Amino acid sequence: MTEPPLSFGARLALAFACFFRVLFDGRYAARVSAAAASAPALPAPEPEPEAAEPNVEPALQLLALLQREGSLVDFLQQDVSEFGDADVGAAARAVHDRCARALSRQARLIPIVTEEEGATLTLEAGFDSAAIKLTGNVRGAPPYRGVVRHRGWRAESFELPRVVGEGDAHIVAPAELEL
C-alpha cells in the first residue's frame, strides 16, 4: 500500500509532533526506530509488555512543576486542621492562582460533554463508556437518557517540560538555604 505524499505543512507539523513524542515516549521512539530500520513494512503495534513497572518520572515532574509554580505539595503536606478558614483560604488562593496558571499552560482541558450540568442528555448505543460514566438507576440497553451531573474533563493536549541534564526526578522541591 502506498499513501499519497503529504504536503510540506503537514510534514512539518508531523515532524514537530514526532520530535517531541520520540523525546518523551520511549516506546514510541522504539517503534519509530524500528520503522525507520525496516521502512517498507510498518510493524504492527507490539503487544504491550506485560506489567512493566510504571514510569513515575513524568508524574514526579508534574508534581515538581505544581510545587514550583504554586506550592501545591507544601499545601497538601501541611496539616490544616489547626488553622481557621481565613488562613486556609488565603493559602488556597495563592496555590489556586498559581497552579491554575501552570495547569492552563501545560494542559488544554475541555469538558467531555457540551451540555451544561443539569441538562438532559441521551446516549445512543456505542457511546464511549470510558468517557461517560453512568450512575443512578442504570437499567437495560441504550439509548440512555439522563441528567448531566458532571461534564467530565478531557486533556486535549498535555505537555511536560523536556528533561535536560542528569537531575534526580525524585527531588520534588529542593531545600532552600539563604546565604
**Residue 62 touches other proteins, criterion: CB under 8 A:** no
Residue 13 CB, shortest distance to other proteins, in Å, is 10
85-106 and 57-70 helices, crossing angle to 10°: 120
Distance of alpha carbon 33 from alpha carbon 98, whole angstroms? 39
Q: Which of 46, 87, 115, 117 binds other proteins (CB under 8 A)?
A: 87
Tell me if 63 contacts other proteins by CB under 8 A: no
Q: For cell 509488555, what's the residue?
A: 49
- Long-range contacts made by residues 162-170, C-beta under 8 angstroms, separation at least 24? 162/20, 162/23, 162/24, 163/57, 163/61, 169/56, 169/57, 169/60, 169/61, 169/64, 170/60
CA 44 and chain centroid, separation: 26
Grouping H, G, I as helix, E, B as strand and the rest as coil, residue 120 is: strand
- Residue 80 binds other proteins, judged by CB under 8 A: yes
The reply to whether 77 sits near other proteins by the rule CB under 8 A is yes
123 in contact with other proteins (CB under 8 A): no
Q: Give the C-alpha separation, 119 to 146, whole Å.
A: 8
Does 36 help bind other proteins (rule: CB under 8 A)? Answer: no
Q: Tell me the window of 35-43, 52-60, 92-100, 130-138 that interacts with other proteins (CB under 8 A).
A: 92-100
Rounded to a whole number of angstroms, the minimum distance from the CB of residue 15 to other proteins is 5
Whose Cβ is closer to other proteins: residue 85's or residue 124's? Answer: 85
* Total site size for other proteins, rule CB under 8 A: 35
Task: Report the nearest approach of other proteins to the CB of residue 112 (Å).
Answer: 27
Cell 440512555, located at residue: 144
Please give the residue ranges that form the binding site for other proteins (CB under 8 A).
12, 15-16, 19, 61, 64-65, 68, 71, 74-75, 77-78, 80, 83, 87-91, 93-95, 97, 101, 159, 161-165, 167, 173-174, 176
